[in-house]
Amino acid sequence: MAENSEEILARFEELTVLEDEFDDAELQILRQQNAVTSPLYAKRATLAAKIPHFWALVFEQCPPEVDQHIQPSDSKVFSECLETLEVSRFEIDDPKGSPRSFSVKFGFGPNEYFEDKVLEKKFWFRRAHEGWMGLVSEPVKIHWKKGKDLTGGLTDAAVKLWDAKKVASTANGNAKAKDSNLPEYQALTKKIELNEETSLSFFAWFGFVSSWRYVSAEESEAATAAESERREKRRKGQKVDEEPEESGDDHQQTEVYPPGEEIATIIAEDLWPQAIKYYKSAHEVDDEELSDLEVEDYDDESDEELDIRGLVQGKGKNSKGGESPPAKKRKT
């Protein structure tokens, strides 16, 4: 006999309560996992520091979802000067924060592209009044050297708009101002339009803000408290008020790196924990690829042919005289 609408609704509420419990369990697992793996990541960092091009090779073998956003010019930066990578759950012990928040910190040696030795991008896991949940960030200033900005001015324009919005918010007593009224908004919009027909540099990722809209810590704290009240009512079988409907927002027109949240999540949850696996895969030489090159057929090898053999075997030399990363394997 089919259940009536009231019985179906009751089952639905029970499932929602169970979903809340799964969410709480996931946060507990994140805290436990962080406690267990942190010493291991520290040990790996010590070992990686002794291996030339460790992180450059990891990025050479990164998942296709990330790889498709790394341009040849970005690969050149990584291969020449990327020295360290670190992902940390900086709100893991913050009662007002979230274990899902994390930062991605890149360490670079001296290079021809920018002055920064460290580029760190933080991602806060926030909840909006309308019920949206996800990662938000703030644009990171990259101090590009003259003529070397791989983003075509996008990161600088994103930072300028961000700073202008903060000034406008303060002037309006923290009331939300319409972004489109700011000249910095118009300037960034034009830059985004100009860059739509070109390949976007991975470094534009440092200008990412949100895939939806920016959610402040204050809004997230209030929304989280309201959700906690709703959860408690659901546990008690009480009627729960519906969440407010999503409001319109003009943020999407000035998001310089739309896949920013996806890229950040893959780095934090795949590339970072699986770095050893990706490093090892960079040194696996496919017999079929070697056969295709037919290096064994050359008796009188030219310098170019020797260079090819060296790259395949991971023994090439870079312009600085050190070992270059081996040729990137084709992903299947």
174 band by pLDDT with thresholds 50, 70 and 90: low
pLDDT above 50 (res 107): yes
Q: Which pLDDT score is estimated for 66?
A: 96
Instruction: Provide, rounded to the nearest whole percent, the portion of the chain with pLDDT above 70.
Output: 80
Backbone φ and ψ of 114, nearest 5°: -145, 165
Taking CA atoms, 207 is separated from 125, 157, 253, in Å, by 17, 9, 14
Q: Lowest mean pLDDT of 11-15, 30-34, 139-143, name the range.
A: 11-15
pLDDT above 50 (res 298): no
Q: Which pLDDT score is estimated for 240?
A: 82
Looking at every residue in the chain, the average pLDDT score rounds to: 84
CATH code linked to domain 5-148+201-288: 3.30.1120.90
pLDDT digits (tens, 9 = 90+) for 192-210: 988 876 789 999 999 999 9
Q: Residue holding tokens 């029970």?
A: 14
| Mean pLDDT (whole number) for 177-191 | 88
Q: Which pLDDT score is estimated for 56?
A: 96
Q: Residue holding tokens 């939806």?
A: 212
pLDDT above 50 (res 305): no
Bridge pairing between strands 82-88 and 118-127:
unpaired
Q: Which pLDDT score is estimated for 295?
A: 46
Give every CB contact of residue 254 below 8 A, 6+ residues apart in sequence.
158, 161, 179, 185, 188, 189, 192
Q: Which pLDDT score is estimated for 8?
A: 81
Backbone φ and ψ of 87, nearest 5°: -115, 130
Structure tokens at 265: 């999540």
Helix 183-195 with 154-171: angle, nearest 10 deg: 160
Q: Which residue has the higher pLDDT, 90 or 332?
A: 90
Q: Lowest mean pLDDT of 63-67, 230-234, 297-301, name the range.
A: 297-301
Please tell me the distance from the alpha carbon of residue 115 to that of residue 148, in angstroms, as a whole number: 11
pLDDT digits (tens, 9 = 90+) for 207-256: 999 999 999 999 999 999 999 898 888 888 888 877 666 554 556 679 99
Cβ count near 220 (within 10 Å): 21
pLDDT digits (tens, 9 = 90+) for 118-127: 999 999 999 9
Please tell me the distance from the alpha carbon of residue 160 to that of residue 177, in angstroms, as a whole number: 16
Q: Where are the domains of the chain?
A: 5-148+201-288
Q: Which pLDDT score is estimated for 288?
A: 46
Q: pTM for the full model?
A: 0.82
Taking CA atoms, 16 is separated from 22, 90, 99, in Å, by 10, 29, 22
Please tell me the distance from the alpha carbon of residue 149 to that of residue 203, in angstroms, as a whole number: 9
Q: Residue holding tokens 């699986």?
A: 274
pLDDT above 80 (res 102): yes
